[in-house]
Amino acid sequence: MAVRKWALAAVVALALSGVARADDAPSTPAPDKSGFTLLNPTPVADLRSFCTDRPTKGTAPCTVDAGHVQIESDLVNVTWDTSGGADTTTVLYTNPTLKIGITNTLDLEFNIAPYVTVASKDRASGITTRAEGVGDLFVRAKLNLVGDDSGNVAIALDPYVKFPTANRQVGNGQVEEGIVVPIQIGLPAGWSFSTDPELDGLKNALSDGQHANIAGLVALSHALSKTVTLSLELWGDENFEPSGHVTQSSADVGVAWIPASHPNFQLDGGVNLGLNNHTPGAQAYVGVSQRF
């Protein structure tokens, strides 16, 4: 409960800080862009380079420019899992995230999968069960601390709250929360390094209360050309569930293409490969992003 209250407070505090800065901003935009807000949008000529949290599992420290909207979504996302004596296939039929730029360094983000199917075949009995429905709603407030517009180092705070909009067959019916700290460092020759330590408060499976979950990754990205970027990452997750500690890990690869003629559009895809028995064996996805 303490983690939940803290994460909720963090989201509210970040949102209120954005409103305060919007109210205090001068009528004439400052050269550092701090004067731009939701109601005083950043001019198109001053937009930063298009930046998304896609592909791969990483969270980028960049935010959406003030007064602009960005949509990032899987077109389709399929996960194959063979653990627990069953073969399970989970499909997300789109998975849009809507981002709204509040200030030059703060955006609000809303993510929900409109339709999810989970088909699980028990290998012993041969019986297949199926669940379907809308996914859970995630609300985030990403605040960039440094590096949104320039520099080789960028850091952000990204607290979130998950609201249980999914049915009990698809989700667990509980409010959960956490915070991610995305960090990105520019390297020579078109490379960049990123990591995003995460702390979550998750519902106990067999009892009331919550337990801690920690996750993170290390990733390298490389600009293969002016329009194509390759991302390679190692991801890990430690779930301190009271009924049984679970460790997951995966090796992930993603490719993103931003056409030169459409600098506010991205097409991407990737594959995540599980590295232990507790991690889904494979996940594949294709997605798009667009800034308005």
- Give the DSSP letter string of 119-172: EEEETTT--EEEEEE---EEEEEEEEEE-SSSSSEEEEEEEEEEE--S-TTTS-
Q: What is the pLDDT of residue 32?
A: 79
Q: What is the pLDDT of residue 101?
A: 98
Domain at 2-291, CATH homologous superfamily: monomeric porin ompg (2.40.160.40)
Beta bridge pairs of residue 78: 91, 284
Q: Is the dihedral of CA 98, 99, 102, 107 positive or negative?
A: positive
Q: What is the pLDDT of residue 25?
A: 37
User: Which residues of the chain are under the pLDDT cut of 70?
Assistant: 1-31
Q: What is the pLDDT of residue 84?
A: 82
63's tokens: 């935010």
In angstroms, the CA 274 to CA 36 distance is: 43
Q: What is the pLDDT of residue 56?
A: 95
Q: What is the pLDDT of residue 203?
A: 96
Long-range CB contacts for residues 82-85, cutoff 8 Å, separation at least 24: 82/281, 83/277, 83/278, 83/280, 85/122, 85/123, 85/124
Domain ranges of the chain: 2-291
Contact predicate 285/269, CB 8 Å:
yes
Question: Helix %, strand %, coil % for the chain, to 5?
Answer: 10, 50, 40
Q: What is the pLDDT of residue 232?
A: 98
CA distances (Å), 267 to each of 61, 63, 151, 201, 228, in order? 20, 19, 26, 33, 10
Q: Is the peptide bond before 164 cis (omega within 30 degrees of 0)?
A: no
**pTM for the model:** 0.87
